[in-house]
Amino acid sequence: MRLDRRDFMKMTGAFSLTLTADIFAAPQKANKKPNILYILCDQWRAQALSCAGDTNLKTPNIDSLAKDGLYLKNAYSTSPVCTPHRAMLMSGKYPSNTNVWKNNMLMAPDENCIAETFVKAGYNTGYIGKWHIDGPAKPGHVRYRQGWQYWAGFNRGHAFNNGVYFTKGETKIKVPKGVFEPVHQTDLAIDFINSKAKDSEPWFLLVSYGGPHMPYTAPQNYMDTIKPDQFKLRPNVRDMKPNHRRALHGYYAHCLCLDDCVGRLTGALKSLDLDENTIVVFTSDHGDMHRSQAQSYKSKPWEESIGVPFIARWPKVIPSGRKLDSLLSTLDIYPTLCGLCGLENPSGLQGNDLSNMFQGKQGKKTDCVYLLIGTSQDEGAWRGVRTKQHTYAYHINKKSAYVLYDNLADPFQMNNLMDKPENKQLQSKMHKLMVDWMKKVDSATCKALDNI
């Protein structure tokens, strides 16, 4: 049959309309939510990165994350010690709510954990490494895994050359002989990522390395790379004895090993074409003094103890190459990850959702980080606040001033302004700021201390 032009146009028009209707009637495939690879180190201070200006080591893989993502220069551990930080990370709540004030305490099994929130949103979850919020067991089968589905972890311990972990039951599994624990944990993490590569559901994997925490050790090739006799020490370092220098040597060597582990993880994402839709976070639970202020370890109010690295990369969503001085506290992490993934924040979270700021948009900011160590009954307990400019801390048992610094004028905190007449107004302002925070999120401590 021969069609004239008018008939042809009618037919093609009808076909076009039908095709268009079919296209729009078909269900639209929703964009998959981003995966999360959260890399949590133990005792890695903010300053110990080559991208942070430390010339004693090179961390090219972590530097690359910072170059391709967001690097926060003012990220702080709200309580710079392992268990309290981890409980706050998992719950999004202060110790006054969880009652987890110090190391080796149990986070309540019914506490709503970040993993449980993500499981409800359709995520597959996995946890590898140190947990340290299931009481004092060493290294210990973890009884309450609180939403983490895949499990290759343990409660606590730093036997890097003789590691063990648990999976489905209480049977202890040994890390293969001669394999440094973080290297094996990285192997497990890559296996997890491979197993989820073709899944339609997003995943959230938390890799909790036990280093560079003491004992300060690493495989010999990393030890040989670090030159302790050539260390450029921070200006506030005092009383650095040979054993302290050996500790710093092992610390830096362990950092090098972990940088290689980070490179293997990000390489696995790229090889599986997962890097574009995976949020990668690199951070730590707290820092390490290494003789700054003549102090060692953590639990102190100085930058080397409270400051942690925090880098977040998500190509095309988190703008690359930004180095910000915006504040971030431990409590902000849970709500921010929810915000980035489009999840509604559970009720009761006590931090800020900084996801807009992460994405280069206008949004909430953290103006002050509340700092705490111990209860009012614990010797050496203190409370404090860290703003962009100042650090203030107060001994709550002694009811006495501890430290006050202007961090912009004095970045190495070598001039304690506390109790100097000319700083009376500043000290009073910072003390009131601390007390206001205590009233808001730490009321029991505030009530226990009259006339603070």
Q: How far is CA 111 from CA 59, 65, 79, 117, 147, in A?
A: 36, 32, 19, 11, 11
Q: Of the listed 132, 213, 254, 290, which one is catalytic?
A: 132
Q: Which long-range contacts (CB under 8 A, 24 or more apart) does 53-57 make?
A: 55/232, 56/226, 56/230, 56/231, 56/232, 56/252, 57/226, 57/252, 57/255, 57/256
Cis peptide before 212 (omega within 30 of 0): yes
User: Which of 403, 219, 221 lies closest to 303 in space, CA to CA?
Assistant: 403
Q: For 12-123, list the strands marked E by DSSP.
A: 35-42, 70-76
Note the Cα 280 to chain centre separation in Å: 11
In the set 41, 82, 113, 255, the catalytic residue is 82
| Cβ 302 vs Cβ 293: under 8 Å | yes
Give, as one character, the DSSP assignment of residue 29.
Answer: P
CA dihedral over 271, 283, 161, 222, signed as positive or negative: positive
82 catalytically annotated: yes
Per the CB < 8 A criterion, the answer to whether 56 and 264 are in contact is no
Distance separating alpha carbons of residues 402 and 288, to the nearest angstrom: 19
368 classed as catalytic: no
**Torsion angle of C-alpha atoms 71, 74, 75, 76, degrees rounded to 10:** 160
Residue 404 CB contacts under 8 Å (≥ 6 apart), including other chains: 390, 391, 392, 393, 416, 417, 418, 423, 426, 427, 430
Residues 6+ apart with CB under 8 A from 35: 196, 202, 203, 204, 205, 274, 277, 278, 279
Catalytic residues: 82, 132
